[in-house]
Amino acid sequence: MTQDTTGFIHRFEPGPDTTRPLMLLHGTGGDENDLLPLGRMVAPEAALLAPRGGVSENGMPRFFRRLAEGVFDEADLRRRTGDLAAFVAASRARYGLGAPLALGFSNGANIAASLLMLRPETLTGAVLIRPMVPFAEPPAADLAGRPVLILSGAMDPIVPVENARRLAQQLSASGARVEHRILPAGHGLSQADVSQALAWLRSLPGPEAA
């Protein structure tokens, strides 16, 4: 566990591939350790960077505040997105990394989507597991050619599939290459998420070809 000058407690696991590391963004109540096994399963060669969200909701770490279930504090989300972008820049310099691809679950997927919209230069792409639309009015962003995989649960009681479809449309309208897959799952992670993310990541061209 490390803490750098941007204030994020995080874990860094080296890997042979530092050109496109995987940044792992946990869900509500998770921490910097939660998604490391998943990251290693879906990207065995990648360096892994896993920050802990800096907001506490009843003792549960999150990446930004919410006003109610599914209602985000958008001003806080914007500020925390800037903080996370600064953390990525500092981590790239510290560990000698290329721009990361984000893998986020739930709350982590939502801030990854916000990063794509507000600070698109930060990420080379993203795997968004159970995300929802982060902003009532989507910011304009240039995501030309950026690969994004969205994995929704058909039986998710928290995020309606239609909400995830809107996010896919917003990212596509900004130029991202979006694949949206609806799995026979609820809100939690499933084996299908692992196999879908693994196959999708393997299908991506190398960073030098992107």
Buried b (16+ CB within 10 A) or exposed e, 142-180: ebeebbbbbbbbeebeebeeebbeebbebbeebebebeb
The 10 Å Cβ neighbour count of residue 69 is 6
Cα separation, 83 vs 194, in Å, equals 28
**Are the C-beta atoms of residues 113 and 167 closer than 8 Å to each other?**
yes
Cα separation, 184 vs 179, in Å, equals 16
- Catalytic residue at 91? no
**Are the C-beta atoms of residues 191 and 151 closer than 8 Å to each other?**
no
Which two three-digit tokens encode residue 127? 């795997």
Q: Rounded to the nearest 10 degrees, what angle do helices 161-173 and 107-118 cross at?
A: 20
Marked catalytic residue, from 26, 156, 174, 180: 156
- Catalytic residue at 106? yes
Marked catalytic residue, from 106, 114, 152, 174: 106
Marked catalytic residue, from 17, 76, 83, 187: 187
- Catalytic residue at 156? yes
Which two three-digit tokens encode residue 191? 């084996």
**List of residues 6+ apart from 209 with CB closer than 8 A:** none
Question: With the C-alpha atoms ordered 25, 28, 31, 35, is the resulting torsion angle positive or negative?
Answer: negative
Catalytic residues: 106, 156, 187
